[in-house]
């Protein structure tokens, strides 16, 4: 084992992500650090709105790399994810080059001689010029490296997962007509999943598995602080305290960090310096996305506000 101050480097990751506006827990920082050290993709799972996609953006911003994003959906296939032949261009070129072809082949006496000459030109129409690179191939071709974000992989089909395996383990893709294209610089790959379906073991095995849940109260306050600058400390504590209580309820969709941030922004816009139950009731629809959830929460608002207020004073 080598002891080249690894803790320091993990801290460096935390600092770097913070400079890009992403407050990372230690687990997230460790994951990013390891992903770079042992060159493995990160598979991020967790509920919607806890900053899975944001992590990739922050990482790209911090490293000054280009971020290539691939949004997955049902029916996504090779042609949209990897590469496609530019059929129209191929067709156009054959039309234009028709005369030229005639010229080249003009001298040939027999059919086999013409074929012979044609072979000399090689596969002109199946060369790099005619490949339309899609996100995955683009990511491999970046000269400076990049952050490849494969977003919501759970939405795609199982076949697509298998397609990803080659890229994830060897950072290369095979195009039948051209051969294997390897990465110029290995990209940092981040996959996100909402857990809509279970991913295959083969995919999971190739990744570091990071689960981001709802953050602790302290961490969430810091996140709000970095994302919503003009917010007072007491209001921040109250908001976070309130939301933590809402998360304890049995709701259809629990409010996550992105909702916290939105709500904080709304409250700042409304210039409220303190949580009171009137404002909360008016703005609850920012926080909760289902009518039934709002109905469940409404009767509790007053007591939650009171509790959050007390926390604000002591915390």
Using rule CB under 8 A, residue 201 touches other proteins? yes
Q: Which helix (H) or strand (E) holds 136?
A: helix 135-141
Judge contact between 43 and 210, C-beta under 8 A: yes
Q: How far is CA 292 from the centre of its chain?
A: 30
Among 20, 22, 30, 214, binds other proteins (CB under 8 A): 30
* 76 phi-psi bin (left φ>0, alpha ψ -120 to 50, beta other): beta
Altogether, the residues listed in the chain come to a count of 315
* Count of residues that bind other proteins according to CB under 8 A: 30
- In sequence order, the 6+-apart residues with CB closer than 8 A to the CB of 235 are 264, 267, 272, 273, 274, 275, 312
110 binds other proteins (CB under 8 A): no
CB of 297 to other proteins, least distance (A): 23
Q: Does residue 197 belong to the site contacting other proteins (CB under 8 A)? A: yes
Site residues (CB under 8 A) for other proteins, limited to 130-159: 157-158
Does the footprint of other proteins cover residue 7 (CB under 8 A)? Answer: yes
Sign, Cα dihedral of 196, 242, 280, 257: negative
Can you tell me which of 209, 218, 252, 310 binds other proteins, judged by CB under 8 A?
Answer: 209
Stretch that binds other proteins, among 36-44, 132-140, 219-227, 231-239 (CB under 8 A): 36-44
Is residue 15 within the footprint of other proteins (CB under 8 A)? no
Q: Which stretch binds other proteins (CB under 8 A): 174-182, 209-217, 238-246, 307-315?
A: 209-217
- Binding flag, residue 221, other proteins (CB under 8 A): no
Place of tokens 């700042």: 268
Nearest Cα residue to 160 out of 71, 82, 45, 77: 77
Instruction: Return residues touching other proteins (CB under 8 A).
Output: 1-3, 6-7, 10, 26-27, 30-31, 33-34, 37-38, 40, 45, 87-88, 91, 157-158, 197-198, 201, 204-205, 208-211
């Amino acid at each position: 084992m080598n002891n080249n101050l690894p803790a320091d480097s993990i801290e460096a990751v935390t600092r770097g992500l913070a400079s890009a506006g992403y407050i990372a827990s230690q687990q997230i920082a460790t994951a990013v650090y390891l992903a770079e050290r042992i060159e493995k993709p990160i598979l991020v799972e967790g509920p919607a709105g806890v900053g899975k996609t944001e992590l990739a953006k922050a990482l790209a911003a911090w490293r000054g790399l280009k971020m290539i994003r691939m949004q997955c959906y049902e029916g996504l296939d090779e042609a949209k994810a990897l590469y496609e032949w530019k059929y129209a261009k191929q067709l156009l070129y054959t039309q234009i080059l028709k005369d030229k072809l005639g010229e080249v082949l003009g001298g040939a006496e027999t059919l086999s001689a013409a074929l012979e000459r044609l072979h000399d030109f090689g596969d002109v129409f199946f060369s790099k010029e005619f490949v339309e690179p899609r996100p995955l191939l683009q990511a491999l071709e970046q000269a400076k490296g990049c952050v490849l974000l494969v977003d919501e992989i759970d939405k795609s089909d199982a076949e697509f997962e298998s397609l990803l395996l080659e890229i994830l383990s060897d950072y290369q893709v095979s195009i039948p007509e051209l051969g294997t294209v390897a990465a110029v610089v290995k990209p940092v790959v981040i996959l996100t999943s909402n857990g809509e379906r279970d991913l295959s073991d083969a995919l999971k095995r190739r990744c570091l598995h990071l689960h981001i849940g709802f953050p602790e109260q302290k961490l969430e306050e810091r996140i709000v602080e970095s994302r919503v600058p003009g917010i007072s400390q007491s209001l921040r504590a109250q908001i976070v305290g309130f939301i933590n209580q809402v998360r304890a309820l049995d709701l259809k969709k629990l409010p996550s960090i992105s909702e916290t941030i939105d709500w904080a922004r709304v409250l700042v816009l409304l210039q409220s310096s303190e949580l009171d139950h009137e404002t909360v009731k008016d703005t609850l629809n920012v926080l909760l996305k289902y009518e039934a959830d709002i109905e469940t929460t409404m009767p509790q608002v007053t007591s939650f506000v009171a509790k959050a207020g007390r926390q604000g004073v002591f915390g």
